[in-house]
Amino acid sequence: MRGVSRLRRVVVLLLCVVVVAVLAGVSLADPFHLRQARWFTSGLIAFGLILLTVMLATAAPRGPLRWVTLVVGAAAVLGWAAFVYGASTLTAGGKQVAEADDAGRRLVTLQGSPEAPAYAVVLRSGGGPFEQESLVYQGPTGAPAPTARFVDPATVEVAVGTCHYRSGVEAVTLAVEPVHRPLVLGC
């Protein structure tokens, strides 16, 4: 890159950082309810930190300031990786106990820890890294296992004992409205 000025390199890297930041923001907003969105977000933030470090190191004059920039940037990337690893150990997917299928979409009933059973019902569609998932119902600890079914292509129903909860589903984004989270047992 002999013919390219330092300023031009910094501007190009800055534009790349802005593009990655916008993509990370879209991933964080998660308009399509992607099941793996947290991994897309964490990867984009790590890539943005790397690009920002390279941009700042390119802008810094040769010498100790450039090395300090690289060390601080590497520490930020490693700190982010440690944070993501630590946060990923805290999440538990739950054990799948039931599933209802309808035209490529699945209502999956998940059970939390066996010591204090709590159930959740999620709606899933697709597969692979772009699989979609939306919460439909999250029950309180000690509630009986829910049964879930598709009423029609745009409506799902969760039955818990004598209580019946209905939610509308948007076909493309898999947005569920309302999401039911009863705080106590009973209707």
User: DSSP readout, 123-136?
Assistant: EEES-GGG-EEEEE
Q: What is the pTM of this model?
A: 0.80
pLDDT, one tens digit for every residue, the chain (187 residues) = 566 788 999 999 999 999 999 999 999 999 989 989 999 999 999 999 999 999 999 999 999 999 999 999 999 999 999 999 999 888 767 788 889 998 889 999 998 877 777 888 999 999 899 999 999 999 887 788 899 999 998 999 999 988 899 999 998 899 999 988 887 777 7
Distance from C-alpha of 68 to C-alpha of 63, rounded to nearest angstrom: 9
Count CB-CB contacts under 10 A for residue 131.
Answer: 15
Domain ranges of the chain: 6-90, 95-177
Q: What's the number of CA atoms in the CB half-sphere (13 Å) around residue 13?
A: 20
